[in-house]
Structure 1
């Protein structure tokens, strides 16, 4: 009996401890991030419903969407402002374009220094020194503008971006267009019309033409700034159930495309002239280098357009690809148009002297007509030839056939000038030539 009594007491104790009082409520309090949704038939009962991802609990029975630029906090009792994002200097999307642009700036400064050092030598003079310096300034601006684009958007940086982005490219392609136009007129029109000097081929004329082409872009930039002043704005992006705020300049993708229309026109014209001058004398390599530059530039920009306009929701790809496209275009121009000249100046100095009349036979065969010839003199003649170049500032000689006969005549370009042959010319021709020099 005692054993049964103890067992009964233990059982009753366990039952008392596990006993749960019955509840008379039909609903339970809602947890964080949920609101009460009452039953239509019974207003005293409800079931808990979670708020949407962009909503917070306004009261027990209602969720409210956060304003634009805000997101719910962790407990969904209120909203917090979205953190502002922009290109950071420690991001790979910034490091790669900035490093590439830095190397380009160093290479451009080195090229300028070499050009100043060999400023009066034939290879530099024959390439048109004035336009080369203008082109180098445009290349430098293309590299520098990358750092402005990658910097944190402010009113100052956005204004500089508006001006420098399209202006740097315009300077480069205006100089190249002026070069190709001059080459085309000299070798096509000049040969067809005999030895008559084509118009507007002097260095001063070339500079004026280039400045006029750049002025057109400046007018577009000023009109764009007046119509739509530079500004800074926050743009909200939604991506994979995530919102983020980006600090950007107030420039839309469409406005960016319109601002580059004139540069695209210059690229097309440069490419056209490069194609037209592809059959000029074989050894006049600058036209071929210009052609390769423009073909490569077209490929780069055709690849850039779908990348830029197809990634509207990823500002890092857009900004990084834009900087790389500008830097690559500048690098192509720097490498194709200036590296061959630097190589001759630094490592093949024997080619950087003017052919001395009488030192070798200038009556060459027809296969060498129109060739930009650099005679390789003997060691004893190098000093004398170099002294003569420095004294007279003469450029390499260009041999062009006489239209009416197979005889060859020798002309020279002096600082980009086109001069008539000095042999067998009349007094009137001499007087006429002096007007152009």
Structure 2
């Protein structure tokens, strides 16, 4: 609202619009005088008058308490709750606004504390020596129109007619103003008196908007701004894990601005508000009832918020709790702003037990209680306000009562025994803010007036100062009173410190206000809270209540927001395979590193188990046993052949190649052992090259034996001398040549790109296969291809020689062995390619063992059988007998 519009509306409502018709307005100063209710009465406008008569328009409001002094300090308190509503007929002058409703005993104590502080300063020899401070304390009825009227009056004075030369401006009538208690009246007052540079120091107006020095340049306060409290409340809610709350506020500058600051801070903390409702004490009962119904869930059956943050003025909260007490409500954990949570009048509402909130620090003001209780009858009768207090406190009438049901105060009333917020000085919180405000103004006046004096020299009260000088000095004050530091920052705010208070039920069943911790906004982030006592929660519980829209998502899951609902409402989804979340309420899952895999709960990454064909597992033991057994079988066969080396069957089968073949088969059996165990750089190179060379040596021997069989029968033909071209030297050279070619292939393979150990992460997701990479696939298949080529060539020759006439035709045995050999290795290729992990190695070992056993059994088993069990057939005659099949 614009200042001029506000002023005009208020002046109209207060009946201050009858300005003298002879008034001549010149410039903005005269316009401001008109708005302030001043007129100039010029007796002769044609000649220059020597003096100007200034009249105050409208009726003056008498202060509730006043005292003359060299410098006067104004005070504005909401001692009554309401103002009397007047219906204007615009035909007669409206009657003066008067306060109605019950007394606010706390506000009465604040006003009396101001009087006490001023008397204490007047008796001081250090602060303002020789200067007497006066005061004018007004009751604003907690109404903006009355507060504005009082602000005009404090700026102008009480005299209806005064003479000031040629200027009716009497700004600075008071040096400063203490008050108002509410933010909304304080805003209205500050807009008026800031034009005159009259400083205003509030003890209870906490709206963050008042820190704006462009709008409210002369406003100061001894109580922290709601911005600090809003941040503290959001951190408090977050500290106890509440993310789903209800919000209630006063429909005023205090409630609306405070809640706006809180909601902004809560959003940054990840807190969601299920509902936010507002009301004001002057609203219809139906509006207040609907707010109560929301809290009771009568209107929101789906609501689940247990915690309610109430940024409500004390008088408004009193009305709401009265309404809530009419009908039972589900248990609620109340979080209160300092306006109501430390109000002792509220403690009678037992359903709010367990409430927590922030309060101004407790304090001790020596002598204040004695001052408050010093109310002799003469002082009470002399003050209408104290008379009303006395009659209301003791439920009697001073003087003769007109009503038959009312008693007359007979003098037996003892204020010493009175239990009320007025006499309660056990927890002075806001009262100390009033006390500090008065002292801050006194120090500012002292610094302006008493700069060149000391404690023994009175201040110079002849030199007058105005409110502008007090305003300038107030910005600089920095002192300590009763152990409490007082100073103002650039926004006129003090250092923000709060007590964390808790409503606890005592053994007697009454609710007590207990300080359980402290909050200091100046401390580093995360260290602002100091909770040193156990907190009692709603219904006397010791466990922190839960107030969330959705339960926390455990590690191993992630949050997925529910469609159309706030961010605090979500579902918990299990992390995908291979991903984890290791914190509660994780918004995302993240994959494990390549060599790690999640546990069953998917909240931790563990190293994948490394898998290879080892000697410890059953398959490895079986293969190793067959490998060693095959080698032993080859050695035993060689021993048998060596023992009977002169026998015809051994000599007829080329004993030299037979022994070399048995030696190579022994190596073939043993080389399969290199495939078992953890692959290493040397084992990877050895296993493939040893396998390739030993098998070529083996096949070369078989090939030599086959050629010898063919050549032997060719040599029986007349005139054939072929055996001289394939004697023992040529046989040895054949074996060496074929083997050398394989050695050369393996050497090139090892030099260019040798096999190496690697961790295979692609075959299985949950484990690592430790295997030997081929290095060069061409080298590997060249080794196998060369073996296959020799085996195929040997098979062709054996097939050609299988029907040669002989009683013991070795070519048939070679044919069978090579058929087995080729069948094994042909089936090996698809099995090797398709087998996963360690089974690839097992397939390769199986192929080596199967082909080796095929060779030794097909070639040497029949001969050993004859040597050992049929010696009668081990004769030259039997071998040369061609008639037996």
Taking structure 1 as the reference length, the TM-score comes to 0.70
Give 3-state SS (helix, strand or coil) of 1:80's partner: strand
Compared CA separation, residues 177 and 20, structure 1 to 2 (3 A): farther
Residue 174 in structure 1 maps to residue 174 in structure 2: no
**2:547, 2:858 → 1: CA distance?**
88
Give 3-state SS (helix, strand or coil) of 2:767's partner: strand
**1:238, 1:278 → 2: CA distance?**
46
2:880 to 373, 397, 400: 373
Compared CA separation, residues 73 and 197, structure 1 to 2 (3 A): closer
Q: Which residue of 2 aligns with 1:344?
A: 866
Compared CA separation, residues 73 and 295, structure 1 to 2 (3 A): closer
Q: Which residue of 1 aligns with 2:787?
A: 263
Mapping 1:111-150, distance limit 5 Å: 111-150=637-676
Check the 8 A contact 2:556/2:601 in 1, yes or no.
yes
* Residue 334 of structure 1: how far off its partner (Å): 1.1
Compared CA separation, residues 187 and 40, structure 1 to 2 (3 A): same
Residue 65 in structure 1 maps to residue 587 in structure 2: no
Check the 8 A contact 1:36/1:46 in 2, yes or no.
no
Residue 244 in structure 1 maps to residue 767 in structure 2: yes
1:32 to 527, 551, 555: 555
* Residue 348 of structure 1: how far off its partner (Å): 3.5
Mapping 1:354-393, distance limit 5 Å: 354=876, 372-373=879-880
Q: Which residue of 2 aligns with 1:54?
A: 578
Structure ranking higher in helix proportion: 1
Compared CA separation, residues 78 and 269, structure 1 to 2 (3 A): same
> Which string of whole-angstrom CA distances, capped at 9 and with x for unpartnered residues, describes residues 364-423 of structure 1?
xxxxxxx9417xxxxxxxxxxxxxxxxxxxxxxx99xxxxxxxxxxxxxxxxxxxxxxxx
Mapping 1:23-422, distance limit 5 Å: 25-38=548-561, 44-47=567-570, 48-57=572-581, 60-188=586-714, 190=715, 194-239=719-764, 242-251=765-774, 254=777, 256-311=780-835, 313-315=836-838, 317-354=839-876, 372-373=879-880
Give 3-state SS (helix, strand or coil) of 2:855's partner: helix
**1:184, 1:34 → 2: CA distance?**
76
* Residue 234 of structure 1: how far off its partner (Å): 1.2
* Residue 349 of structure 1: how far off its partner (Å): 3.5
* Residue 65 of structure 1: how far off its partner (Å): 1.0
Compared CA separation, residues 253 and 58, structure 1 to 2 (3 A): farther
Give 3-state SS (helix, strand or coil) of 1:120's partner: coil
**2:649, 2:728 → 1: CA distance?**
16
* Residue 50 of structure 1: how far off its partner (Å): 2.6
Give 3-state SS (helix, strand or coil) of 1:36's partner: strand
Check the 8 A contact 1:200/1:206 in 2, yes or no.
no
**CA RMSD, aligned part only?**
3.0
**1:335, 1:230 → 2: CA distance?**
32
Q: Which residue of 1 aligns with 2:38?
A: none
**1:200, 1:244 → 2: CA distance?**
59
* Residue 38 of structure 1: how far off its partner (Å): 4.2
Compared CA separation, residues 278 and 75, structure 1 to 2 (3 A): closer
**1:178, 1:38 → 2: CA distance?**
78
* Residue 52 of structure 1: how far off its partner (Å): 1.0
Give 3-state SS (helix, strand or coil) of 2:769's partner: strand
Give 3-state SS (helix, strand or coil) of 2:593's partner: coil
Compared CA separation, residues 137 and 40, structure 1 to 2 (3 A): same
**2:825, 2:650 → 1: CA distance?**
30
Give 3-state SS (helix, strand or coil) of 1:243's partner: coil
Check the 8 A contact 2:612/2:837 in 1, yes or no.
no
* Residue 219 of structure 1: how far off its partner (Å): 0.6
**1:119, 1:248 → 2: CA distance?**
44
* Residue 32 of structure 1: how far off its partner (Å): 2.0
> Which string of whole-angstrom CA distances, capped at 9 and with x for unpartnered residues, describes residues 317-373 of structure 1?
322222222112111211121122223333344444445xxxxxxxxxxxxxxx941
Q: Which residue of 1 aligns with 2:322?
A: none
Number of positions where the alignment pairs a residue of Structure 1 with one of Structure 2: 341
* Residue 213 of structure 1: how far off its partner (Å): 0.4
After superposing the two structures, state which structure 1 stretch, 59-68 or 165-174, moved more.
59-68
Compared CA separation, residues 28 and 20, structure 1 to 2 (3 A): farther
* Residue 304 of structure 1: how far off its partner (Å): 2.7
**1:320, 1:228 → 2: CA distance?**
24
**1:185, 1:119 → 2: CA distance?**
22
Give 3-state SS (helix, strand or coil) of 1:137's partner: helix
Check the 8 A contact 1:56/1:79 in 2, yes or no.
yes
> Which string of whole-angstrom CA distances, capped at 9 and with x for unpartnered residues, describes residues 271-310 of structure 1?
1101111221142411111111111222222333332222
**2:871, 2:711 → 1: CA distance?**
30
* Residue 99 of structure 1: how far off its partner (Å): 2.1
Check the 8 A contact 2:754/2:774 in 1, yes or no.
no
- Give the unaligned 5+ runs of structure 1: 1-15, 356-370, 375-397, 400-437
**1:78, 1:179 → 2: CA distance?**
63
**2:821, 2:632 → 1: CA distance?**
21
Q: Which residue of 2 aligns with 1:433?
A: none
* Residue 74 of structure 1: how far off its partner (Å): 4.9
* Residue 20 of structure 1: how far off its partner (Å): 5.8
Give 3-state SS (helix, strand or coil) of 1:44's partner: coil
**1:254, 1:296 → 2: CA distance?**
26
Compared CA separation, residues 79 and 136, structure 1 to 2 (3 A): same
Check the 8 A contact 1:130/1:207 in 2, yes or no.
no
> Which string of whole-angstrom CA distances, capped at 9 and with x for unpartnered residues, describes residues 115-136 of structure 1?
2222233322221122111111
Give 3-state SS (helix, strand or coil) of 1:35's partner: strand
**1:63, 1:122 → 2: CA distance?**
78
Taking structure 2 as the reference length, the TM-score comes to 0.36
Larger radius of gyration: 2
